[in-house]
């Protein structure tokens, strides 16, 4: 039996979780350049060309890709399922927050129904906690 958990978070906390899951899944795809976009480092990068070359070298040595423009797809057999689980959770959180903030909908991927990518886990469920608003 799979245990289930309930977690109550603020919207800001949900967005931090969403972004952390996105970075985790992207790194698992070989998209190490995402490290540059972390708010801790983004404003501190002075020589982006050098940093990109360093990341390209890291990607080449770890993943075998020629540069940071290459990566695995989320469905690739090379990708660990934990990356897909992280992506699925990120999609569900992103979708809920988008609809809660814009009930009329929108045209971005945020409003599309999340697609299950994990081979082993079902999509999580999320709802707005209206009792504490």
Reported as a single tens digit per residue, the pLDDT across 100-126 is 999 999 999 999 999 999 999 999 999
Looking at residue 88, its pLDDT comes to 98
pLDDT class of 67 with cuts at 50, 70, 90: confident
Looking at residue 13, its pLDDT comes to 97
Looking at residue 99, its pLDDT comes to 96
pLDDT at residue 45 above 70?
no
- Please name the residue that has the structure tokens 């990068």: 45
Q: Are residues 45 and 106 in contact, defined by beta-carbon separation less than 8 angstroms?
A: no
Looking at residue 132, its pLDDT comes to 65
pLDDT class of 5 with cuts at 50, 70, 90: very high
Q: Are residues 110 and 98 in contact, defined by beta-carbon separation less than 8 angstroms?
A: yes
pLDDT class of 39 with cuts at 50, 70, 90: confident
Instruction: Classify residue 113 by its DSSP letter.
Output: P
Best CA proximity match to 26, nearest among 108, 113, 98, 87: 87
Angle between helices 81-101 and 11-28 (to 10 degrees): 150
Looking at residue 43, its pLDDT comes to 60
Residues in the chain: 133
Reduced to 3 states, what is the DSSP secondary structure of residue 120?
coil
Reported as a single tens digit per residue, the pLDDT across 11-27 is 999 999 999 999 999 99
Looking at residue 131, its pLDDT comes to 77
Reported as a single tens digit per residue, the pLDDT across 74-100 is 999 999 999 999 999 999 999 999 999
Best CA proximity match to 110, nearest among 127, 93, 128, 95: 95
């Amino acid at each position: 039996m799979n245990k289930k958990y309930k977690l109550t978070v603020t919207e800001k906390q949900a967005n931090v979780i969403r972004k952390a899951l996105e970075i985790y899944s992207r790194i698992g795809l070989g998209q190490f350049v995402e490290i540059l976009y972390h708010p801790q480092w983004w404003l501190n990068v002075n020589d982006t060309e050098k940093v990109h070359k360093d990341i390209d070298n890291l990607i080449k040595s770890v993943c075998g890709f020629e540069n940071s423009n290459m990566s695995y797809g989320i469905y690739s057999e090379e990708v660990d399922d934990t990356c897909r689980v992280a992506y699925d959770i990120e999609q569900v959180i992103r979708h809920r927050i988008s609809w809660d903030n814009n009930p009329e909908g929108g045209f971005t991927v945020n409003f599309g129904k999340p697609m299950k990518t994990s081979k082993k886990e079902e999509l999580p469920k999320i709802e707005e906690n209206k009792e504490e608003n």
